[in-house]
């Protein structure tokens, strides 16, 4: 069966990171066309177990839709971090594309610049330090405490080995991202055995800067399912 046909049977679950909401996926959703996509707003509660439980519920919602196929996950930043946590917890994802997740003590200090920006300039400074010029203050959630809770949670995060999935789990790094992000991707390749791909034309904000490339990799990953 051609890859495009196999990809067409999949459903997609997209998860946003800190200082954003599910609306941030508009460009990727357009690129995915008429395929089933769910891009929920996360709880941003600061509790990793509750966040993973909410992700599991979202997977069940996608899976329960009429004619739904296997669920392929896409996450950027904190969304990718929660994807790693969900895969380690056995959330039934068929495949995943995880763009620049946190890596905990595997690379200490990765999130330090964002933490310093938040401390000195609040949500706006944090968003721009994390995502760059493509992020806007209007992208942030309405809850003023959400970013602080997310940041504290992701600073505590430690990656664990994902459980087996039917399809690939791919770590991506932006072509324009700083070397620290490349080192983070490499430690995940080395420690967890996850393949790494470089996404062209973007930095950390792949969903804003390169939605076509991100969507294309999601479709490629879905097409690898048997």
Strands 169-174 and 95-99: parallel
Query: What's the mean pLDDT when you consider all of the chain?
Result: 94
What digits encode the pLDDT tens for the residues 143-193?
Answer: 989 999 999 999 999 999 999 999 999 999 999 999 999 999 999 999 999
The pLDDT of residue 5: 42
Instruction: Kindly state the DSSP code that residue 25 receives in the 8-state scheme.
Output: G
pLDDT band for position 90 (50/70/90)? Answer: very high
Where do runs of H (alpha helix) occur along 36-111?
Answer: 48-64, 78-88
Spans of all domains in the chain:
3-223
The pLDDT of residue 1: 37
CATH 3.40.50.1820 given to domain 3-223: yes
Q: Residue 83 corresponds to which tokens in the numbers above? A: 């994807």
Q: Residue 48 corresponds to which tokens in the numbers above? A: 């990793």
Other beta carbons within 10 Å of 175 = 15
Range of weakest confidence among 8-17, 61-70, 91-100: 61-70
Angle between helices 78-88 and 48-64 (to 10 degrees): 80
The residue length of the chain stands at 226
Contact residues for 189 (Cβ-Cβ < 8 A; gap 6+): 171, 195, 196
Closest CA to 10 of 109, 94, 75: 94
Which pTM does this prediction carry? 0.95
The pLDDT of residue 4: 46
Instruction: Kindly state the DSSP code that residue 164 receives in the 8-state scheme.
Output: P
Instruction: Kindly state the DSSP code that residue 32 receives in the 8-state scheme.
Output: H
């Amino acid at each position: 069966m051609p890859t495009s046909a196999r990809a067409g049977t999949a459903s997609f679950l997209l998860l946003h990171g800190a200082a954003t909401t599910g609306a941030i996926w508009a460009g990727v959703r357009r690129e995915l066309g008429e395929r089933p996509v769910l891009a929920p707003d996360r709880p941003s509660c600061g509790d990793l177990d509750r966040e993973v439980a909410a992700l599991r519920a979202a997977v069940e919602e996608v899976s329960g839709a009429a004619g739904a196929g296997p669920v392929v996950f896409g996450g950027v930043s904190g969304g990718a971090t929660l994807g790693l946590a969900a895969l380690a917890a056995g959330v039934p994802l068929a495949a995943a594309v995880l763009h620049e997740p946190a890596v905990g003590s595997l690379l200490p200090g990765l999130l330090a610049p964002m933490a310093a920006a938040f401390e000195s300039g609040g949500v706006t400074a944090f968003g721009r330090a994390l995502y760059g010029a493509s992020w806007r203050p209007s992208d942030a959630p309405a809850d003023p405490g959400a970013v602080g809770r997310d940041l504290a949670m992701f600073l505590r995060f430690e990656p664990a080995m994902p459980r087996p999935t039917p399809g690939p789990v791919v770590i991506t790094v932006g072509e324009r991202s700083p070397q620290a992000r490349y080192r983070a991707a490499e430690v995940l390749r080395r420690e967890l055995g996850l393949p790494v791909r470089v996404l062209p034309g973007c930095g950390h904000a792949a969903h804003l800067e390169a939605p076509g490339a991100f969507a294309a990799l999601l479709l490629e990953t879905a097409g690898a399912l048997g």
